[in-house]
Amino acid sequence: MRTIKFRGKPIQGDHLYENFVYGNLVKYASGVYNILVPIQWGFENYEIDPESIGQFTGLYDCEGEEIFEGDILDFNGLKVEVRFVRGVFALLVNGNLDDELCGDCITDLFAKVIGNVYENPDILKGGEQ
């Protein structure tokens, strides 16, 4: 069975927290997104910035780190963005929908998470890691 989980950046009022939280995604009828983080006796509930939500792909990088939608990978020197498009997770070269790597690339051997599009958008534009 595959693991289905999400990550997102919590918000409170106008304040966006620095770290992601990981857990189950809930969208309320009001349009508010929350992530429920499992704890020993239940869940902690965090309102999430919708722009920061990413789903776990089920894949791991060469160092065993989980790969989420929105992550930026160094794939043998090529910077790629993980995005959910056309019903699958794709590795987009420089964020370009017309230029993607094969869907069955071996990420656990050749890819390393070097950032994400929410915290490090300049990486895809040739900026520093």
At 45-86, the pLDDT tens digits run 999 999 999 999 988 999 999 999 999 998 888 888 888 877
For residue 22, give its domain range. Answer: 6-51
In a domain, 94, yes or no: yes
**Confidence class for position 7, pLDDT limits 50, 70, 90:** very high
Task: Check which CATH number belongs to the domain holding 95 and give it.
Answer: 2.30.30.290
Predicted TM-score of the model (pTM): 0.84
State residue 16's pLDDT score.
67
State the average pLDDT over residues 34-39: 92
Does 70 lie in the same domain as 44? no
* Residue 109 backbone zone (phi > 0: left; psi -120 to 50: alpha; other: beta): alpha
Q: Residue 91, class by beta-carbon neighbours within 10 Å (0-12 exposed, 13-18 middle, 19+ buried)?
A: buried
Report how many domains make up the chain: 2
Mean per-residue pLDDT over the chain, rounded: 84
